């Protein structure tokens, strides 16, 4: 059926209290995604909506959002894989277009988390794991990733200072991202001196809950080449699932779902880690980014922390990573995160990233994880 391209991307400002309804929040991202395209909403023949349903007061939000965006009676679908919902949505959209069922699909991710306290949000996120064996025992998101951090430290000698350097990089780039929730420079001392959440993870090792939305418009080759000035092609998609229970994991120093998803995406694209010019990885916690370096093949297992020590993941380094500030600075509105990551890479490949632009970026990668490593999506995009 030909190649499939991302022709438009949009994102709301990520904030703690957006002050609008979910449908209005999604319109903000949809409106930006449609800018500059030689199509109207009438040309969109399907939509995919992604969120983490435990936060949604509105049951079956896909119908509500489709109606508000005036996409009815075209079909709408609801997709959920926790924090990776909107990148799962992109995979589904790619599949629908490759199957010949649709020509243009809008993938919209959202979350409005400010209506819950941090304690309530942590409890709901904890239920993203096994509700018999994990969450009743206190394995919330911070606790789960703290286990990974401790295991990585014990096996490879990774230090709290190296974790802190990940957040310093995030803050350095987040300050220039107008869509980011947290825009302030931080030092290693600031991170190490912040409140302990779940040792060894401290406050600034953790991303913030946020309200936000994202939108990706995907089209078949014949339409993409006609309506978009610079279509960005989906070169490879990979997805995998690990055990829900932490006790069932083969390793606590890497995410097996990310390793497998990356293998699939590289294989489909006919590329390897050395071919990637810029990457967005799922840095819900600082340890997550270091593990991502290794899981994606940017570093050998156990060597990921050296990349941040040597600033190889800054612009100008071996592989620039999260130069929009990542989740740590942007915030993490669960269903919107994958779409936000894709938007960043699309802007990089189009040369639209202004002061955060990676020179001559032609191939980009998005690594989006759901839960405590339950779901992994890796997408490779090319100009």
Element (H, E) at 198: strand 196-198
CA of 45: how far to CAs of 11, 53, 93, 101, in Å? Answer: 21, 24, 11, 9
Count CA atoms within 13 Å of residue 293 on its CB side. Answer: 26
332 is catalytic: yes
What CA–CA distance (Å, rounded) separates 231 from 134? 43
DSSP 7-74: EEEEEPPPBS---S-HHHHHHHHHHHHHTT-S--GGG--EEEEE--GGG-SSSSHHHHHHHHTT-TTS
Element (H, E) at 77: strand 76-79
Among residues 18, 26, 83, 284, the one annotated as catalytic is 83
- Whether residue 202 contacts residue 192, with contact meaning beta carbons closer than 8 Å, is answered with yes
DSSP 138-171: T--HHHHHHHHHHHHHHHH---HHHHHHHHHHHH
83 is catalytic: yes
- Whether residue 180 contacts residue 325, with contact meaning beta carbons closer than 8 Å, is answered with yes
Among residues 102, 152, 282, 332, the one annotated as catalytic is 332
Count CA atoms within 13 Å of residue 275 on its CB side. Answer: 16
Of the candidates 78, 104, 108, 110, the one whose C-alpha atom is nearest the C-alpha of residue 5 is 104
Of the candidates 98, 110, 107, 81, the one whose C-alpha atom is nearest the C-alpha of residue 22 is 110
CA of 320: how far to CAs of 20, 191, 293, 356, 360, in Å? Answer: 34, 21, 11, 10, 12
Residue 123 neighbours by CB under 8 Å, 6+ apart: 140
What CA–CA distance (Å, rounded) separates 62 from 10? 18
- Whether residue 272 contacts residue 317, with contact meaning beta carbons closer than 8 Å, is answered with no
Known catalytic residues are 83, 332
């Amino acid at each position: 059926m030909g190649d499939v391209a991302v022709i438009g991307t949009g994102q709301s400002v990520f904030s703690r209290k957006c002050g609008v309804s979910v449908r209005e929040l999604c319109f903000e991202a949809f409106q930006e995604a449609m800018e500059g395209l030689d199509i109207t909403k009438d040309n969109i023949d399907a939509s995919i909506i992604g969120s983490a349903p435990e936060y949604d007061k509105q049951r079956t939000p896909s119908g509500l959002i489709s109606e508000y965006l005036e996409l009815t009676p075209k079909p709408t679908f609801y997709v959920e894989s926790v924090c990776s919902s909107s990148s799962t949505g992109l995979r589904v959209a790619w599949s629908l277009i490759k199957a010949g069922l649709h020509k243009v699909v809008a993938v919209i991710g959202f979350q409005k988390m400010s209506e819950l306290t941090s304690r309530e949000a942590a409890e709901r996120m904890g239920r993203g794991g096994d509700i018999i064996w994990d969450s009743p025992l206190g394995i919330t998101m911070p606790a789960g990733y703290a286990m990974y951090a401790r295991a990585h430290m014990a096996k490879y000698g990774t230090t709290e200072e190296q974790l802190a350097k990940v957040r310093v990089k995030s803050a350095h780039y987040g300050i220039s991202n107008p869509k980011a929730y947290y825009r302030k420079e931080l030092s290693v001392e600031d991170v190490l001196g912040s409140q302990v959440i779940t040792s060894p993870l401290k406050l600034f090792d953790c991303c913030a809950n946020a309200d936000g939305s994202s939108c990706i418009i995907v089209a078949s080759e014949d339409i993409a080449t006609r309506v978009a000035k610079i279509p960005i092609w989906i070169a490879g998609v990979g997805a995998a699932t690990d055990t829900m229970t932490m006790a069932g994991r083969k390793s606590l120093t890497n995410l097996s779902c990310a390793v497998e998803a990356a293998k699939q995406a590289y294989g489909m694209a006919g590329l390897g880690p050395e071919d990637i010019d810029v990457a967005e990885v799922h840095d819900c916690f600082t340890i997550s980014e270091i593990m991502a370096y290794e899981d994606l093949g940017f570093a050998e297992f156990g060597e990921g922390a050296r990349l941040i020590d040597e600033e190889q993941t800054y612009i100008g380094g071996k592989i620039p990573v999260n130069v929009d500030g990542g989740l740590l600075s942007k915030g993490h509105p669960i269903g919107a995160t994958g779409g936000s990551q894709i938007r960043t890479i699309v802007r990089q490949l189009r040369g639209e990233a202004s002061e955060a632009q990676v020179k001559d970026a032609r191939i980009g990668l998005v690594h989006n994880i759901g839960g405590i490593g339950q779901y992994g999506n890796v997408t490779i995009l090319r100009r």
